[in-house]
């Protein structure tokens, strides 16, 4: 199953380190970051889970819930959690799905046979409160993900959902943004009374809107 941006994220039930969940119910009115790991007790995954645990205050500020997945049994997850806390200085503080039957992995197309027909690749899905998929990323097993980039994309999505702007290359919170081309100059004057810098008629730069 190929999932595309704008698709409804498939719902599922699964055992996790925080009990059995139904994904959509667990998300509630929050944004979600669902990300997969090739397997337990692997070095790159251990660093990723530790860093994600440290980011919990940042996720909470943005109304985001994180949830991981690995194609191993629940008892293995609990043992691995101790290693994560010991080596990364942060205890697992979000659910980790036990997907030994690969039900969720197959539902989200996380297994790429030409890379490995056994383990999941490093997939990332950002899901909004309407349960729509807003971002997909796929990393090879050997490359750890940049979770600061995940936060940056969430900031962009939440900003651009609220205001009629887009974020330019390498944008980060507080930087200037771009008025979307669909907004004509007359309407832009009402939305951005402070004015903007017009580099081209289609490229109008404005300070990041507040709120």
At residue 79, the pLDDT reads: 80
Confidence of residue 1 (pLDDT cuts 50, 70, 90): low
pLDDT in tens, 82-93: 889 999 999 999
Catalytic residue list contains 45 = yes
Secondary structure (3-state) at 53: helix
Q: How far is residue 129's CA from residue 24's CA, in Å, rounded to a whole number?
A: 9
Assigned token pair, 44:
């790159």
Percent of the chain residues topping a pLDDT of 90? 73
State yes or no: pLDDT of 40 exceeds 80: no
At residue 12, the pLDDT reads: 97
Where do you find CATH 3.30.1020.10 in the chain?
A: 163-206
Which of 9, 45, 92, 127 is the catalytic position? Answer: 45
Confidence of residue 204 (pLDDT cuts 50, 70, 90): very high
Secondary structure (3-state) at 185: helix
Cross-strand bridge partners of residue 184: none
Judge contact between 9 and 132, C-beta under 8 A.
Answer: yes
Average pLDDT over residues 139-163: 95
For the domain spanning 13-145, the CATH number is: 3.40.30.10
Distances (CA, A) of 86 to 66, 74, 90, 93, 147: 21, 19, 8, 14, 21
Bigger pLDDT: 117 or 182? Answer: 182
Average pLDDT over residues 173-202: 96
Q: What mean pLDDT value characterizes the chain?
A: 91
Q: Which CATH class is domain 163-206?
A: alpha beta
Assigned token pair, 209:
């809107």
DSSP conformational letter for 89: S
At residue 81, the pLDDT reads: 87
Where do you find CATH 3.40.30.10 in the chain?
A: 13-145
Maximum distance among all Cα pairs of the chain, rounded to whole angstroms? 61
pLDDT in tens, 110-124: 876 554 555 556 899
Place of tokens 């404005």: 206
Distances (CA, A) of 139 to 36, 100, 168: 10, 21, 23
Bigger pLDDT: 100 or 76? Answer: 100
* Helices 43-54 and 147-162, packing angle to 10 deg: 40
Assigned token pair, 115:
């890379």
At residue 120, the pLDDT reads: 58
């Amino acid at each position: 199953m190929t999932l595309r941006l704008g698709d409804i994220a498939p719902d599922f039930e699964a055992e996790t380190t925080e009990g059995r969940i139904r994904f959509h119910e667990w998300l509630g009115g929050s944004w979600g970051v669902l990300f997969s790991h090739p397997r337990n007790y692997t070095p790159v995954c251990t660093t990723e889970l530790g860093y994600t645990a440290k980011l919990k205050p940042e996720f909470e500020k943005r109304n985001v819930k994180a949830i991981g997945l690995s194609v191993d049994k629940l008892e293995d997850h609990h043992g691995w959690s101790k290693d994560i806390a010991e080596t990364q200085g942060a205890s697992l503080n979000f659910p980790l799905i036990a997907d030994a039957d690969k039900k969720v992995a197959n539902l989200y197309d996380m297994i790429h046979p030409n890379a490995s027909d056994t383990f999941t690749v490093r997939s990332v899905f950002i899901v909004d409160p309407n349960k729509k998929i807003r971002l997909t990323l796929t990393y090879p097993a050997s490359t750890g993900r940049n979770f600061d980039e995940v936060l940056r994309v969430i900031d962009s999505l939440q900003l651009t959902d609220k205001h009629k702007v887009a974020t330019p290359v390498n944008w980060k919170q507080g930087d200037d943004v771009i008025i979307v081309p669909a907004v004509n100059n007359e309407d832009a004057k009402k939305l951005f009374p402070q004015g903007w810098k017009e580099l081209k008629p289609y490229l109008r730069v404005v300070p990041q809107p507040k709120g």
